[in-house]
Amino acid sequence: MRYLLAAAMLVLASVRPAPAMPQRIVSINVCTDQLLMALVEPERIASVSFLAADPATSVRWRQAAALHLNHGRAEEIMALQPDLVVAGTYAARATASILKKLGYTLLELRPAASIQDIRDNLLTLGQATGSLNQARKLIDVFDQRLERLRYPAEGTRKLFVNYALNGWTSGTGTLVADLAHHAGFDVAGDRLGFQGLGNVSLERLILLSPDLIDLGNDWADPPSLASQSQGHPALQSLLQRTAQVSVDEPLWSCGTPWTLDALAQLRQARDALE
Amino acid sequence: MTYPLLMIVLTVAVSAAFGVSLLTGPSDIGLAELMSSLGSAGADSTALILEEIRLPRAILGLAIGASLGLSGAALQGYLRNPLAEPGIIGISATAALGAVIAIYTGLSLAYPLALPILAIAGSVLAVLVLQLLVGPGGALSLILAGVALSSLAGALTSLALNLSPNPFAALEIIFWMLGSIADRSMDHVHLAVPFMAAGWVVLMTTARSLDVLSLGEETAGGLGVDLSRTRLLVVTGTAISVGAATAVSGVIGFVGLIVPHLLRPLVGHRPSRLLPASALGGALLLLLSDIGVRLLTPGTELKLGVLTALVGAPFFLSLILRHRSTYGL
Amino acid sequence: MKLEAANISVAVRGARLVNEASFGLGGGELVGLIGPNGAGKSTLLKAVVGVGPRAAGTVSLDSRPLHSYARLERARLLAYLPQERRVEWRLSSREVVMLGRYPHQRGFGPPSDASRQAVERALSLVEAEPIADREFRVLSGGEKARVLLARALAVEAPILLADEPTAGLDPYHQLHVMEILRGIADAGVAVLIVLHDLTLAGRFADRLILMNRSRIVDSGPAGQVLTDANLKHAYSVNALRRDEGSEQFVVPWRRL
């Protein structure tokens, strides 16, 4: 679910004139938070969003805990007197438009829907923050690791289904699909023909008979119908004969350099299926 | 049509709808596969889908429909009011509130029976409040009290779900308000159906008393009808069956209104005959509606209560129009 | 069968509706319960039947307390025709009359032959066969009254208590109903009816019970109860009295 939210958070990158080396950068989106922390030294980060410090949504939560945290409200951002604001669309949409109107320098990044988007976002943000070299360095390391993890293109693809609560799963054109393809898997969208996120009923899931399932966060405490639906006997029966993987959600809910950790897990699971 | 013939037709129709329900779903499972699969204890996909997904859905459709139809007929007979229906007068909404409390506090995880029991407690509360507020024949006050009760229970349900730290809880308001039996499991069947069946037995025992009650309470009392016992049985039977039904399906409105009304002329207007006929009719309507939501909007299934309300609400309005003079509405 | 009511009192929210009323009723007797509006006649009747507000005092059938009878047994012995004439749902007249057989029927099966015959007898007694298959709710007031009377007669109880069975009826039907009641009394049934029409009461009843202000103030043959003093005291009217053959009749004439 957080994956969904994160995906909706980023919009088209729109670079505006900024000082060559912004010194008071504020990020109000959990995905840009993490990219920023990867690229820029902490002294130049005036604030990141509170979600960046939440282990459920952020890979770099320890690092974020040492920073000033914001809730994406226009007034608190203005009080920080930023020279660059990095944003997405979700929740802070109104904030972003106010800040833009007031003349703040605003950078909006679109959500990574592919591995290539991660590179693009790193470069865009690197350029805007004057950390282009750091960005290029990260991308080099990223690409080398990607090459090591890539499943041979001639191999047969198995089916991976990330089956989140209420039956939400990834279709084509998503970061998860791109990762799965790199790891030697199709996703449900490849087989059923849908883009983005799709809702797949339990019955359809059983008919797909996936080779690998990731149930994601079960949100079991406190309970909800959605979390209880994972106890459905039909699903349990399917799980008994299907391999499971549990990717830490922040790894792929935002496209970051650490997203390759998710790919590594998928690749490992793919090898285990041989 | 004679009464036995009507009952046979309804039974055949319910059985057919039950079969069609088993055959309806995103995957094409033919009749032959259905038959062979139900017999075998295989663990293949078809068997799994039929036994663990479609069978509980069909059973719940049948049982919940029967509960709603039967309790609608019993309430109308007891209150001598053709507009009484568990959904309209707030019994379902308070049952949903009870179920919501059981589920989202985690109580039902520790004690599964807490789910039907709290839902039943909710409906008992509703019937008691209604009895306190509304006298016999008070159609307008019954509906007004029901509206107030429904709104209050709905508001409390929304509040409870909004306050839950679980991000999914708030999304589930729609399930509790509009009802669905998609992807329910045999666990739900085991949890709810015994209660519903007990409710049916209780309601059926009131059949002849309801007949006599059509002559008014004084005459019925003079003829030896135990009025307080009849009231207790109707209240208990409705609360148990509707409470258990709502606990696993959310609020599904109007079934208890439409079904008795359509069948009443066919059974010769006798409340006692209307009871079993309405149970069958309710089962039929709900099975058909549930097949409908699967066929009309495959993939993104419409909530069951949306369909019953789309049919039921205009029906309700036409009933009010027709009874305006009779009940001073 | 003999009905005995002793010291019946009914109080609702502190208001005494019936005060220490005692009377007896025997088989073959047609007794009229008369009195002005609000005297407590209907309340007394309900108290005897055991419907309506809680009552003090004892009612016994053949010297056995009524409450010691099972509910349905009591209903089989004591038929009651209340004033309410509303019937819910579109039942036919015959179905309405058949409901009078409720205390005799058991289980969910179709009515017994005895019940069917009782219903036909009752319908024929009130001459309602032609309207037996019509919907009750569309009948005229007179037809409704007759069908409901047939409903009470279908119980075939040894005791019949009827609350204003002639209310709202035209003279023809008033006389018809009184003749029917007189007939079943003559056949051995104990009949008690609440009446407002003193002329009918005086003509048909063997005995009258006069209630005023929640008490029974007099009882006895019509000639002894419908005295100028009683009429003045209870009703504040005077009356004309005439003899017609062997019968004497009373017509309320002027307010006092």
Geometric angle at alpha carbon A249, from A244 and A253, rounded to 5°? 125
For chains A and B, count residue pairs whose Cβ atoms are closer than 8 Å.
88
Domain count across chain C: 1
Strand A197-199 to A168-170 pairing: antiparallel
Residues of B in contact with C96 (CB under 8 A): 215
Q: What is the pLDDT averaged over residues A161-176?
A: 92
pLDDT at C56 (0 to 100): 93
Closest CA to B99 of B87, B88, B111, B114: B114
> How far is residue A126's CA from residue A35's CA, in Å, rounded to a whole number?
9
Structural domain boundaries, residue C62: 3-255
Burial of B140 (0-12, 13-18, 19+ CB in 10 A): middle
**Buried/exposed C89-101: b ≥16 CB within 10 Å, e otherwise:** bbbbbbbbbbbbb
For residue B114, the SS3 value is helix
C191 close to B (CB below 8 A)? no
In angstroms, what CA-CA distances link C134 with B96, B325, C123, C140?
44, 22, 13, 11
Q: Concatenated DSSP letters for C104-149?
A: G--SSSPPPHHHHHHHHHHHHHTT-GGGTTSBGGGS-HHHHHHHHH
pLDDT digits (tens, 9 = 90+) for A54-65: 998 999 999 999
Contact A204 B27 (CB under 8 A): yes
**What percent of chain A has a predicted confidence (pLDDT) above 90?**
68
Tokens for A105, please give them.
């320098």
Here the contacts of B230-234 (C-beta below 8 Å, separation 24 or greater) are B230/B78, B230/B206, B231/B78, B231/B131, B233/B202, B233/B203, B233/B205, B233/B206, B234/B74, B234/B75, B234/B78, B234/B203, B234/B206
Q: What is the pLDDT averaged over residues A96-103?
A: 86
Considering only residues A7 and C32, tell me which one the structure prediction assigns the higher pLDDT.
C32
**Are A111 and A8 contacting, i.e. CB atoms less than 8 angstroms apart?**
yes
pLDDT digits (tens, 9 = 90+) for C13-36: 889 999 999 999 999 999 999 999
**Are B159 and B99 contacting, i.e. CB atoms less than 8 angstroms apart?**
no
For B259, residues 6+ apart whose C-beta sits below 8 A from its C-beta are B68, B69, B72, B73, B278, B281, B282, B285
- Write down how long chain C is: 256
**Residue range(s) occupied by CATH 3.40.50.1980 in chain A:** 2-113, 158-273
pLDDT at A3 (0 to 100): 47
Give, to the nearest 10 degrees, the angle between helix B186-204 and helix B227-249: 160
Closest CA to A13 of A101, A107, A123: A107
Q: What is the pLDDT averaged over residues C27-56?
A: 93
Chain B interface test: which of A199, A230, A232 (most B C-beta within 10 Å): A232
Mean pLDDT by groups of 10 residues along chain B of 329 residues: 92 97 81 66 74 93 97 92 86 94 89 93 89 67 85 93 85 88 91 97 95 93 91 91 95 93 92 96 96 84 87 86 64
Segment (H or E) for B322:
helix B304-327
> How far is residue B102's CA from residue B111's CA, in Å, rounded to a whole number?
9
C52 close to B (CB below 8 A)? yes
For residue C4, the SS3 value is strand
**Are A45 and A21 contacting, i.e. CB atoms less than 8 angstroms apart?**
no
Q: Concatenated DSSP letters for B55-97?
A: HHHHHHHHHHHHHHHHHHHHHHHHHT-TT--TTTTTHHHHHHH
- Per-residue pLDDT at A191 exceeds 70: yes
pLDDT at A1 (0 to 100): 43
- C82, C88, C102: residue with CB nearest B208: C102
* C–B contact: 3+ Cβ pairs < 8 A: yes
pLDDT at C60 (0 to 100): 95
Instruction: Return the partners of chain A (3 or more C-beta pairs < 8 Å).
Output: B
Residues of C in contact with B80 (CB under 8 A): 88-89
Q: What is the pLDDT averaged over residues A171-191?
A: 95
Instruction: Return the partners of chain B (3 or more C-beta pairs < 8 Å).
Output: A, C
pLDDT digits (tens, 9 = 90+) for C79-108: 999 998 889 889 999 999 999 999 998 877
Residues of B in contact with C91 (CB under 8 A): 214, 268-270
B203 close to C (CB below 8 A)? no
pLDDT digits (tens, 9 = 90+) for C144-203: 999 999 999 999 999 999 999 998 889 999 999 999 999 999 999 999 999 999 999 999
A166 close to B (CB below 8 A)? yes
CA distance B206 to chain C (A): 11
**Buried/exposed B214-250: b ≥16 CB within 10 Å, e otherwise:** bbbbbbbbbbbbeeeebeebbbbbbbbbbbbbbbbbb
Closest CA to C83 of B214, B218, B81: B218
Alpha carbon of residue A77 to chain centroid: 24
CATH architecture group of domain A2-113 = 3-Layer(aba) Sandwich (3.40)
For residue A199, the SS3 value is strand
Q: What is the CATH number of the domain that holds C126?
A: 3.40.50.300
Closest CA to B233 of B88, B66, B75: B75
Q: Which residue has the tokens 């203005």?
A: A78
Type of residue numbered C9: S
Backbone angles phi, psi at C80, to 5 degrees: -135, 130
> How far is residue C219's CA from residue C41's CA, in Å, rounded to a whole number?
14
- Per-residue pLDDT at A92 exceeds 80: no
- Per-residue pLDDT at A93 exceeds 60: yes
For B262, how many CA atoms within 13 A lie in the half-sphere containing its CB? 21
> How far is residue C99's CA from residue B167's CA, in Å, rounded to a whole number?
57
**Which residues, numbered 81 to 140 in chain A, qualify as contacts with chain B under a Cβ-Cβ cut-off of 8 Å?**
none
Segment (H or E) for C34:
strand C30-34
pLDDT at C135 (0 to 100): 94
Q: Which residue has the tokens 């309507």?
A: B285
Tokens for A98, please give them.
């106010």
* A–C contact: 3+ Cβ pairs < 8 A: no
Considering A84-88, A95-99, B297-301, the range whose residues carry the highest mean pLDDT is: A84-88
CA distance B15 to chain C (A): 25
> How far is residue B48's CA from residue B37's CA, in Å, rounded to a whole number?
9
Name every residue in B having a CB less than 8 A away from some CB of A.
25-27, 43, 45, 48-49, 52-54, 103-106, 108-109, 164-169, 171-172, 175, 182-183, 185-187, 299-301
pLDDT at B50 (0 to 100): 87
| Sign of the C-alpha dihedral computed for residues B262, B267, B269 and B274 taken in this order | negative
Type of residue numbered A84: L
In chain B, the domains with their CATH numbers are 3-323 (1.10.3470.10)
Strands lying side by side in the sheet with A243-244: A185-186, A158-162, A212-214, A243-244
**Are A35 and A57 contacting, i.e. CB atoms less than 8 angstroms apart?**
no
Q: Which residue has the tokens 């029906």?
A: B315
**Buried/exposed A68-95: b ≥16 CB within 10 Å, e otherwise:** ebbebebebbbeeebbbbbbbbbbbeeb
pLDDT at C39 (0 to 100): 93
Type of residue numbered B239: A
Mean pLDDT of chain A: 88
The ipTM is 0.93
> How far is residue C225's CA from residue C218's CA, in Å, rounded to a whole number?
6
Closest CA to A215 of A242, A181, A254: A242
- Class for domain A158-273, per CATH? alpha beta
pLDDT at C74 (0 to 100): 94
Segment (H or E) for A234:
helix A233-240
pLDDT at B227 (0 to 100): 87
Centre a 10 Å sphere on the Cβ of residue C80 and count the other Cβ atoms it contains.
25
A37 DSSP β-pair partners: none
For residue A106, the SS3 value is strand
The residue in chain C having the minimum alpha-carbon distance to the alpha carbon of residue B223 is C75
Residues of C in contact with B212 (CB under 8 A): 99, 102
Using 50, 70 and 90 to split pLDDT, how confident is the model at A12? very low
Q: What is the pLDDT averaged over residues A131-156?
A: 93
Q: What is the pLDDT averaged over residues A129-140?
A: 95
Closest CA to C152 of C49, C52, C63: C49
| Sign of the C-alpha dihedral computed for residues B315, B317, B321 and B324 taken in this order | positive
Alpha carbon of residue A102 to chain centroid: 30
- 3-state percent helix, strand, coil for chain C, nearest multiple of 5: 40, 30, 30
In angstroms, what CA-CA distances link C205 with C33, C46, C178, C190, C227?
9, 21, 9, 12, 15
Q: What is the pLDDT averaged over residues A103-110?
A: 90
C41 close to B (CB below 8 A)? no
Using 50, 70 and 90 to split pLDDT, how confident is the model at A4? very low
Contact B222 C49 (CB under 8 A): yes
